[in-house]
Amino acid sequence: MPVIPDQSPPVILVAAQPADLDNLVAIRIEAMRESLERIGRFDPVRARERFLNGFDCRNTRHIELAGERIGFIVVRHDQEELLLEHLYVRPNAQGSGVGSVVLKQIFKEADAAALPIRVGALKESASNRFYIRHGFQFVESGEFDNYYVRPRCRRG
Protein backbone atom coordinates (compact mmCIF):
# COMPACT_ATOMS: atom_id res chain seq x y z
CA MET A 1 0.00 0.00 0.00
CA PRO A 2 1.53 3.40 -0.94
CA VAL A 3 2.39 5.87 1.79
CA ILE A 4 0.36 9.05 1.48
CA PRO A 5 2.16 12.13 2.80
CA ASP A 6 0.51 13.98 5.64
CA GLN A 7 -1.64 16.67 4.07
CA SER A 8 -2.46 18.50 7.28
CA PRO A 9 -1.29 22.12 7.42
CA PRO A 10 1.86 22.76 9.44
CA VAL A 11 1.82 24.28 12.88
CA ILE A 12 3.96 27.41 12.82
CA LEU A 13 5.23 29.79 15.50
CA VAL A 14 4.93 33.49 14.69
CA ALA A 15 6.49 36.30 16.70
CA ALA A 16 3.97 38.30 18.71
CA GLN A 17 3.74 42.08 18.56
CA PRO A 18 2.76 44.52 21.34
CA ALA A 19 -0.60 45.07 19.62
CA ASP A 20 -1.41 41.35 20.08
CA LEU A 21 -1.80 41.69 23.83
CA ASP A 22 -5.62 41.59 23.99
CA ASN A 23 -5.77 38.53 21.74
CA LEU A 24 -3.15 36.74 23.84
CA VAL A 25 -5.03 37.48 27.05
CA ALA A 26 -8.26 36.17 25.49
CA ILE A 27 -6.54 32.91 24.49
CA ARG A 28 -5.04 32.52 27.97
CA ILE A 29 -8.40 33.02 29.67
CA GLU A 30 -10.18 30.68 27.27
CA ALA A 31 -7.53 27.96 27.66
CA MET A 32 -7.33 28.17 31.47
CA ARG A 33 -10.98 28.73 32.31
CA GLU A 34 -12.00 25.10 32.90
CA SER A 35 -8.97 24.24 35.06
CA LEU A 36 -9.30 27.42 37.13
CA GLU A 37 -13.03 26.93 37.62
CA ARG A 38 -12.37 23.40 38.83
CA ILE A 39 -10.25 24.73 41.72
CA GLY A 40 -12.42 27.79 42.34
CA ARG A 41 -9.82 30.31 41.09
CA PHE A 42 -11.27 31.59 37.81
CA ASP A 43 -11.04 35.38 37.72
CA PRO A 44 -10.61 36.91 34.24
CA VAL A 45 -9.51 40.28 35.65
CA ARG A 46 -6.80 38.65 37.75
CA ALA A 47 -5.73 36.46 34.82
CA ARG A 48 -5.37 39.54 32.62
CA GLU A 49 -3.39 41.47 35.26
CA ARG A 50 -1.02 38.58 35.90
CA PHE A 51 -0.31 38.21 32.20
CA LEU A 52 0.16 41.96 31.68
CA ASN A 53 2.66 42.16 34.53
CA GLY A 54 5.05 39.74 32.84
CA PHE A 55 4.29 40.32 29.16
CA ASP A 56 7.27 40.71 26.86
CA CYS A 57 6.46 40.22 23.19
CA ARG A 58 10.11 39.29 22.48
CA ASN A 59 9.54 35.95 24.26
CA THR A 60 6.04 35.35 22.90
CA ARG A 61 5.03 33.47 19.77
CA HIS A 62 1.60 32.73 18.36
CA ILE A 63 0.76 29.15 17.46
CA GLU A 64 -0.82 29.19 14.01
CA LEU A 65 -2.53 26.42 12.13
CA ALA A 66 -3.89 27.06 8.63
CA GLY A 67 -3.54 30.81 9.19
CA GLU A 68 -5.57 30.76 12.41
CA ARG A 69 -4.05 31.74 15.74
CA ILE A 70 -4.99 28.86 18.00
CA GLY A 71 -2.64 29.48 20.90
CA PHE A 72 0.62 30.96 22.04
CA ILE A 73 3.83 30.13 23.82
CA VAL A 74 6.15 32.20 25.99
CA VAL A 75 9.70 30.94 26.46
CA ARG A 76 12.24 32.95 28.43
CA HIS A 77 15.89 32.17 27.89
CA ASP A 78 18.36 32.58 30.68
CA GLN A 79 21.89 31.37 31.19
CA GLU A 80 20.95 28.14 32.95
CA GLU A 81 17.57 27.08 31.55
CA LEU A 82 14.65 27.82 29.30
CA LEU A 83 11.55 28.78 31.23
CA LEU A 84 8.39 27.69 29.46
CA GLU A 85 6.15 30.31 31.07
CA HIS A 86 3.04 29.78 28.98
CA LEU A 87 1.78 27.23 26.48
CA TYR A 88 -1.88 27.76 25.75
CA VAL A 89 -3.99 26.17 23.05
CA ARG A 90 -7.63 27.09 22.53
CA PRO A 91 -9.92 24.34 23.88
CA ASN A 92 -11.29 23.51 20.41
CA ALA A 93 -7.73 22.66 19.26
CA GLN A 94 -6.61 20.79 22.39
CA GLY A 95 -6.02 17.09 21.98
CA SER A 96 -5.15 17.48 18.30
CA GLY A 97 -1.37 17.13 18.70
CA VAL A 98 -0.65 20.84 18.32
CA GLY A 99 0.93 21.10 21.78
CA SER A 100 3.21 18.16 21.02
CA VAL A 101 4.37 19.78 17.78
CA VAL A 102 5.11 23.02 19.61
CA LEU A 103 7.02 21.21 22.36
CA LYS A 104 9.17 19.42 19.76
CA GLN A 105 10.22 22.84 18.44
CA ILE A 106 11.05 24.08 21.94
CA PHE A 107 12.98 20.86 22.60
CA LYS A 108 15.10 21.56 19.50
CA GLU A 109 15.85 25.06 20.78
CA ALA A 110 16.74 23.76 24.25
CA ASP A 111 18.89 20.95 22.87
CA ALA A 112 20.76 23.33 20.56
CA ALA A 113 21.59 25.49 23.60
CA ALA A 114 22.16 22.42 25.84
CA LEU A 115 19.69 23.83 28.38
CA PRO A 116 17.01 22.18 30.51
CA ILE A 117 13.42 23.41 30.29
CA ARG A 118 11.43 24.34 33.40
CA VAL A 119 7.63 24.58 33.40
CA GLY A 120 4.85 25.03 35.92
CA ALA A 121 1.40 23.50 35.57
CA LEU A 122 -1.74 24.35 37.49
CA LYS A 123 -2.63 21.55 39.88
CA GLU A 124 -5.64 19.54 38.71
CA SER A 125 -4.93 20.56 35.11
CA ALA A 126 -4.54 18.06 32.28
CA SER A 127 -1.31 19.88 31.43
CA ASN A 128 0.41 17.90 34.21
CA ARG A 129 -0.12 14.64 32.31
CA PHE A 130 0.86 16.37 29.07
CA TYR A 131 4.25 17.46 30.39
CA ILE A 132 5.01 14.12 32.06
CA ARG A 133 4.10 12.32 28.84
CA HIS A 134 6.65 14.51 27.03
CA GLY A 135 9.55 13.67 29.33
CA PHE A 136 9.32 16.35 32.00
CA GLN A 137 10.16 15.23 35.52
CA PHE A 138 8.30 16.44 38.59
CA VAL A 139 10.49 18.69 40.77
CA GLU A 140 8.25 20.32 43.37
CA SER A 141 4.78 21.44 44.22
CA GLY A 142 3.72 24.96 45.15
CA GLU A 143 0.44 26.27 46.49
CA PHE A 144 -1.35 26.16 43.13
CA ASP A 145 1.19 24.74 40.67
CA ASN A 146 3.37 21.70 40.10
CA TYR A 147 6.83 22.31 38.65
CA TYR A 148 8.64 20.12 36.15
CA VAL A 149 11.99 20.04 34.39
CA ARG A 150 13.04 18.44 31.15
CA PRO A 151 16.75 17.75 31.67
CA ARG A 152 19.19 19.24 29.24
CA CYS A 153 20.34 17.12 26.37
CA ARG A 154 24.00 16.35 26.91
CA ARG A 155 26.06 16.63 23.78
CA GLY A 156 29.04 14.50 23.44
Indicate which CATH number applies to the domain containing 133. Answer: 3.40.630.30
Helix extents (H) in 17-120: 21-38, 44-54, 98-113
Tell me the pairing of strands 11-15 and 137-141.
unpaired
Domain residues for the domain of 24 are 11-150
Q: What is the pLDDT of residue 54?
A: 83
CA dihedral 67, 85, 119, 97 (to 10 degrees): -10
Asked whether residue 82 is domain-assigned, the answer is yes
pLDDT at 143 over 70: yes
Interval 8-53: pLDDT, tens: 679 999 999 999 999 999 998 888 878 777 767 778 788 788 888 8
pLDDT at 2 over 50: no
Asked whether residue 1 is domain-assigned, the answer is no
pLDDT band, very low/low/confident/very high, at 3 (cuts 50, 70, 90): very low
Conformation bin of residue 3: beta by default, left when phi > 0, alpha when psi is -120 to 50: beta
* C-alpha–C-alpha distance, residues 39 and 35, integer Å: 7
Asked whether residue 2 is domain-assigned, the answer is no
Asked whether residue 5 is domain-assigned, the answer is no
Asked whether residue 3 is domain-assigned, the answer is no
Asked whether residue 155 is domain-assigned, the answer is no
Q: What is the pLDDT of residue 9?
A: 76
Asked whether residue 77 is domain-assigned, the answer is yes
> HSE on the CB side for 123, CA within 13 Å?
10
Q: Average of pLDDT values for 44-66?
A: 88
Domain tally, the chain? 1
| Percentage of the residues of the chain whose pLDDT score is greater than 90 | 62
Looking at residue 49, its amino acid is E
Q: What is the DSSP letter of 55?
A: -
CA dihedral 150, 99, 13, 5 (to 10 degrees): 110
Asked whether residue 142 is domain-assigned, the answer is yes
pLDDT band, very low/low/confident/very high, at 155 (cuts 50, 70, 90): low
- Report how far apart, in Å, the C-alpha atoms of 114 and of each of 22, 29, 92, 108 are: 34, 33, 34, 10
pLDDT at 1 over 50: no
Mean of the per-residue pLDDT values of the chain: 88
